[in-house]
Amino acid sequence: MINFANLADKYGTPLYVYNFDTITERFNLLKDSFKARKSLICFAVKANSNLSVLKHIASLGGGCDCVSIGEVKRALHAGIAKYKIIYSGVGKRDDEIEEALKKDILMLNLESEEEMARVEAIASKLRVVARISVRVNPNIDVKTHPYISTGLHENKFGVEVDVAKRMYIKAKYSEFLEPVGIHFHIGSQIVEVEPFREAGVVLSSLLRSLRALDIDIKFFDIGGGVGIRYENEETISLYEYAQSILASLGGVDVTIVCEPGRYLVGECGYFLTKVLYEKNNGVKRFVVVDGAMNDLIRPSLYSAYHEVELLNSSNEDVSEADIVGPICESGDFLAKKRALPKTKHNDLIVVKNAGAYGFTMSSNYNTRARVAEVALEGENDRLIRRRESFEDIIALEKDFL
Ligand code: LLP
């Protein structure tokens, strides 16, 4: 049992709290499900980029999947080995490509023919060989929120199978490119195995045809996307997930790479917020808390459901309420229509499953300071990011007055 009241006293609210033991447990379960093969787990940094989280991933032997040079630098700074870092993304700038090549990371994951030409030109200027993989869009419909579905031709990600093949052949004959990986990522918060199986079949067939052309692909990168239970979703079994990929590969000898974000850190995280006021306008009951959409935007942006719990409540006088923040927008809510006991000033509410895409998507909207982050390990708690001050917020502007 986590003592949230103590944490709130010690670190203040709003607050993100991450249980690192849960990350360890999840990491080991995933690693285990691929134990029949060589595998590399590259944590999707975008889900939670706190340096201490990344350092923890490094201590477990994990790598990182990054989508900006900033994330690459974070991963390196936290101690992730350079040969375990992948750099993906549809829009890499020249300077980002150059820096990634200089840092000699495992591979750049390419998303267009034009991008490959840029990478080749920059590698040739630097006189280095760029290790690359191509992100293939297998055109598979995943039933998830449209904003986080990525494997359909109407999405901006990756290239079609034929284009990928053309890119690999071109890369094979380039002095400055070395194709080493093949990649797909079909979406996020996926709760069924079938789309992974379908993508596995498409990609492993491409892999076999590349091997036949003497293109030596060593890494089979199956992206991220494994969903978690926010409300009452049936989540997928890791065994079936791994088997669906392994079966499509048959006997082909490759290292499986996967890029989990939410699966590793989603359920380890709690967003702790304090009740300020209650109000009831006769039509609706609102519980106004000190946390807001700038801290956790998922409910506002994706209508995402997060379980909430009012701590130490008597469970009396329960009625339906919206939990809303102090921001000047009607879209500023953390939960809607929840059965909640009557609250009082300073009561604590914990918003669950908030470890992924919580803090990383937070902002200073309404000149609100980004909150502190705390890690729990065993019996201990420790600060891993201090709360921003007003001085922090204005630091980059104040000298221009
Ligand atoms: N690999 C690539 C190339 C990705 O684009 C993503 C996520 C991942 C891995 C990790 O996916 P995961 O295992 O976490 O599903 N902000 C949204 C999620 C956006 C996901 C973007 N890409 C949310 O809060 O639900």
Report pLDDT for 313.
80
Q: Are residues 318 and 345 in the same domain?
A: yes
Report pLDDT for 145.
67
Q: What is the DSSP letter of 226?
A: B
CB of residue 144 inside a 6 A radius of ligand 1:
no
| Mutation to probe ligand 1, out of 41, 43, 46, 107 (largest number of atoms < 8 A from CB) | 46
Distance of CA 361 from the midpoint of ligand 1 (Å): 12
Report pLDDT for 141.
76
Q: Does 174 map to a domain? A: yes
Q: Are residues 238 and 282 in the same domain?
A: no
Q: Does 236 map to a domain? A: yes
Cα angle: 291, vertex 293, 299; to 5 degrees? 110
User: Going by CA atoms, what residue is nearest to atom 24 of ligand 1?
Assistant: 357
Report pLDDT for 149.
63
* Span 2-7, average pLDDT: 97
Alpha carbons within 13 A on the beta-carbon side of 108? 34
Query: For 278-309, what is each residue's pLDDT tens digit?
Result: 999 999 999 999 999 999 999 999 999 999 99
Closest alpha carbon to 184 in 252, 72, 109: 109
Q: Are residues 378 and 239 in the same domain?
A: no
95 burial type by CB count under 10 A (0-12 exposed, 13-18 middle, 19+ buried): exposed
Q: Are 308 and 352 in contact, with CB atoms under 8 Å apart?
A: yes
Q: Are 37 and 246 in contact, with CB atoms under 8 Å apart?
A: yes
Query: For 185-216, what is each residue's pLDDT tens digit?
Result: 999 999 999 999 999 999 999 999 999 999 99
CB of residue 263 inside a 6 A radius of ligand 1:
yes
Query: Is the four-CA dihedral 222, 141, 293, 280 of positive or negative sign?
Result: negative
Report pLDDT for 251.
86
What is the spatial distance between Cα 120 and Cα 148, in angstroms, rounded to a whole number?
Answer: 30
Q: Does 168 map to a domain? A: yes
User: Going by CA atoms, what residue is nearest to atom 16 of ligand 1?
Assistant: 357
Q: Are residues 210 and 339 in the same domain?
A: no
User: Going by CA atoms, what residue is nearest to atom 23 of ligand 1?
Assistant: 357
Domain containing residue 321: 4-15+267-400
Q: Are residues 297 and 205 in the same domain?
A: no
Q: Which residue among 64, 258, 268, 328 is the active-site one?
A: 328
Report pLDDT for 316.
83
CB of residue 185 inside a 6 A radius of ligand 1:
yes
Cα dist. 388→14, 360, 363, 365, 391 in Å? 12, 14, 11, 13, 8
Report pLDDT for 153.
64
Quick check: 139 pLDDT over 90? no
Q: Are residues 250 and 291 in the same domain?
A: no
Query: For 353-381, what is each residue's pLDDT tens digit?
Result: 999 999 999 999 999 999 999 999 999 99
Q: Does 116 map to a domain? A: yes
Residue 64 known to be catalytic = no
Report pLDDT for 152.
63
Tokens representing 213? 């052309």
CB of residue 300 inside a 6 A radius of ligand 1:
no
Report pLDDT for 151.
60
Q: Are residues 179 and 95 in the same domain?
A: yes
Distance of CA 391 from the midpoint of ligand 1 (Å): 32
Strand partners of residue 136: 159
**Residue carrying structure tokens 């690459």:** 72
Of 240, 260, 280, which closes a domain?
Answer: 260
Number of domain units in the chain: 2
Distance of CA 271 from the midpoint of ligand 1 (Å): 20
Q: Which atom of ligand 1 is nearest to the CA of 88?
A: 3
Q: CATH code at 303?
A: 2.40.37.10
Q: Does 29 map to a domain? A: no
Q: Are residues 96 and 116 in the same domain?
A: yes
Distance of CA 261 from the midpoint of ligand 1 (Å): 6
Q: Are residues 212 and 239 in the same domain?
A: yes
* Span 115-127, average pLDDT: 98
* Span 229-254, average pLDDT: 94
Average pLDDT value for the chain: 95
Report pLDDT for 134.
97
Distance of CA 188 from the midpoint of ligand 1 (Å): 5
Q: Are residues 137 and 61 in the same domain?
A: yes
Q: Are 308 and 334 in contact, with CB atoms under 8 Å apart?
A: yes
* Span 259-264, average pLDDT: 98
Q: Does 22 map to a domain? A: no
45: Cα separation from own chain's centroid: 6
Q: Does 24 map to a domain? A: no
Of 212, 235, 260, which closes a domain?
Answer: 260
Of 241, 260, 279, which closes a domain?
Answer: 260
At 140, is the pLDDT very low, low, confident or very high (cuts 50, 70, 90)? Answer: confident
Q: Are residues 108 and 254 in the same domain?
A: yes
At 55, is the pLDDT very low, low, confident or very high (cuts 50, 70, 90)? Answer: very high
Q: Are residues 164 and 106 in the same domain?
A: yes
Query: For 99-111, what is each residue's pLDDT tens digit?
Result: 999 999 999 999 9
Tell which wins on pLDDT, 148 or 111: 111
Quick check: 148 pLDDT over 70? no
Report pLDDT for 150.
64
Q: CATH code at 137?
A: 3.20.20.10
Q: Does 141 map to a domain? A: yes
At 155, is the pLDDT very low, low, confident or very high (cuts 50, 70, 90)? Answer: confident
